[in-house]
Amino acid sequence: MLDATWFLVIVLVVGLVMLVKGADWLVDGASSIAKHFGISDLVIGLTVVAFGTSMPEFVVNMVSVADGVTDLAVTNILGSNIINTYVILGLTALVYPVVSQKRSRDFDIPMSIIAGVVVFVFVAFPSPMGEAQKGVGRIEGIVLLLLFAYFLYNTFRHTKDHPDEASAEEVKQMSKGRAIVFILLGLVGLIVGGEMIVKSAVKIATKMGVSEAIIGLTIVALGTSLPELATSVMAAFKHNSDIALGNVIGSNIFNVYFVLATSAVIRPLPAYEGIAMDAWGAALGSILVWLFVKTNHEREVKRWGGAVLLIVYAGYLTYRLMLV
């Protein structure tokens, strides 16, 4: 008979697979439907596909918020952003230097830095609205959503003014009936997978005697980031590493300004022990990437930069686990 903890780990892994696959099906189906209505591939890429990449984190957060597991809701986002930056970009750069586009250097990466800094300020200092408890409350969530609206506006305006710089997403065309089936299957996979992840993660944390925050920062965050990891590393092997930077920074922005913000508006997210360090860790990753691409003529994250990101992550994770 399998040990109960191992059974829960299996349930968690199955939930992650369902979650990720569900997101893929939902994006494919929704993109095809949008295509049937005459929406351009570029707009689909900026909306449906962009939102779809953060759908695993979004569903996990919605389930966590509904169940009152607020620590998991926060660490799922901060942990995903930390792994995106340090691990995914780090490994990608080791395979092949990661090239940056001017738009990323001048706007996207700074927006990612601001996301981490703003969350750090929210959790490190009491709310100016008089709330005694530190954390990301509804007011803070609204602030993040307003910043997200600015990001979307600026992105669409830039795309309109510089169509030559925009890369259109290749949409998989399918019949309307098949697209609807994909959407329904995707929703089922997301909902069921999200439930399995949150329920099993909480039970694993209880059985192992660790906090939900640690499970969220490690297992759950890594699981929801696996698609970006696979995509980025494969792109590096094909010497298309610029895709990796756009995917990672875009995902980080959506995670904080949209997913975390929406979660906080629905249910305030109080601070947990170590949250300030996690928020600063997320901000530091984006700062390092920005410094790397700004301090060389090629404007890229070189292999040594990738090694630095991985070393910093190893140090952060070791120290973080020592605090448990």
**Residue with the larger pLDDT of the pair 144 and 194:** 144
Which one, of 34, 66, 51, 157, lies nearest residue 103 by Cα?
Answer: 157
Distance CA 94, CA 91 (A): 5
pLDDT band at 156; cut points 50, 70, 90:
confident
User: Does the reported pTM lie above 0.95?
Assistant: no
Please, what is the average pLDDT of the chain? 84
Distance CA 73, CA 62 (A): 8
Using a pLDDT cut of 70, give the percent of the chain over it: 90
Helix (H, G, I), strand (E, B) or coil at 240: coil
Which pLDDT tens digit goes with each residue over 251-279? 899 999 999 999 999 999 988 888 889 99
pLDDT of residue 1: 40
Q: For the residues 26-33, what does the mean pLDDT come to?
A: 84
37 and 175 in contact (C-beta within 8 Å)? no
Residue 61 CB neighbours (<10 A)? 30
Residue 255 CB neighbours (<10 A)? 28
Q: For the residues 234-246, what does the mean pLDDT come to?
A: 76
| CATH number, domain containing residue 166 | 1.20.1420.30
Element (H, E) at 161: helix 138-161
- For residue 81, the enclosing domain spans 4-322
**Residue with the larger pLDDT of the pair 204 and 283:** 283
98 and 289 in contact (C-beta within 8 Å)? no
Q: For the residues 58-80, what does the mean pLDDT come to?
A: 89
- Report the domain count for the chain: 1
Q: What are phi and psi of 304, to 5 degrees?
A: -65, -35
Which pLDDT tens digit goes with each residue over 86-116? 999 999 999 999 888 888 888 989 999 999 9
